[in-house]
A and B are shown apart, each in its own frame.
Chain A
Amino acid sequence: QKEVEQDPGPLSVPEGAIVSLNCTYSNSAFQYFMWYRQYSRKGPELLMYTYSSGNKEDGRFTAQVDKSSKYISLFIRDSQPSDSATYLCAMGSSNDYKLSFGAGTTVTVRA
């Protein structure tokens, strides 16, 4: 069993829809959580960083962390064609330098 499982997708949504992306994890030591956006043939770009449980909002993006369920989500409101990319979740703990990544969910927003 992988340490981080991410919904595999792909997802195809119409412009303006809400996109919901999810990851589950097994390591209860994870304390900080990130979402990266990766355009085709480019490096991952940090979207959201959250420490511990709770919600964080940044513009059209909302990250949720539920440590009791070991579940994190990223919501994209009013999705745009420019949001078409692969989204990677990543997480880490205070005593380990390594991040654990999900395999990514590819999202296509149709104009």
Chain B
Amino acid sequence: DAMVIQNPRYQVTQFGKPVTLSCSQTLNHNVMYWYQQKSSQAPKLLFHYYDKDFNNEADTPDNFQSRRPNTSFCFLDIRSPGLGDAAMYLCATSREKYQETQYFGPGTRLLVL
């Protein structure tokens, strides 16, 4: 089945220790998104790629970076995680940018000690 896959499902890191989360998709969608979701809150868009074109949301901290080496894979790098970065990180894809459904992966739950 075509899908969005995220690894790892759970990640524990130490305060200030860089961490990388990965997302892959078999849907061959052009757009990939990264969201941060905290408990009982709506997902918050961090950035997205349209093909190789990277778009950062204005309020995304500089601590967060992303890479998309090819159509199928996208990575979220958190350079120096703080306690406030503990959250669920969701990857999503859509075929095109506008008027399209977004399909989500299962998420990576990040814990910062």
Which A residues lie at the B interface, using CB under 8 A? 4, 31-32, 34, 36, 41-46, 49, 51, 88, 90, 92, 94-99, 101-104
Contact: B104 with A34, CB < 8 Å?
no
Residues of B near A98 (CB, < 8 A) are: 45
Within the complex, what minimum Cβ distance (angstroms) separates A5 from chain B? 11
Determine the residue in chain A with the shortest Cβ distance to B10: A41
Contact: A43 with B104, CB < 8 Å?
yes
- Chosen A-B contacts, 13 in total, with CB atoms closer than 8 Å, are A31-B99, A36-B104, A41-B107, A42-B106, A43-B90, A43-B104, A46-B102, A46-B104, A49-B101, A95-B98, A102-B42, A104-B40, A104-B42
Residues of A near B76 (CB, < 8 A) are: none
Contact: B98 with A94, CB < 8 Å?
yes
Partner of A44, one of B43, B45, B98: B43
Partner of B42, one of A31, A41, A96, A101: A101
Partner of B98, one of A36, A96, A103: A96
Contact: B48 with A97, CB < 8 Å?
yes
Q: Given A32-B99, A94-B99, A97-B98, A45–B104 Cβ distance below 8 Å?
A: yes
Contact: B109 with A41, CB < 8 Å?
yes
Q: Is B31 an interface residue (CB 8 A)?
A: yes
Residues of B near A44 (CB, < 8 A) are: 43, 90, 104
Most buried by A among B43, B45, B88: B43
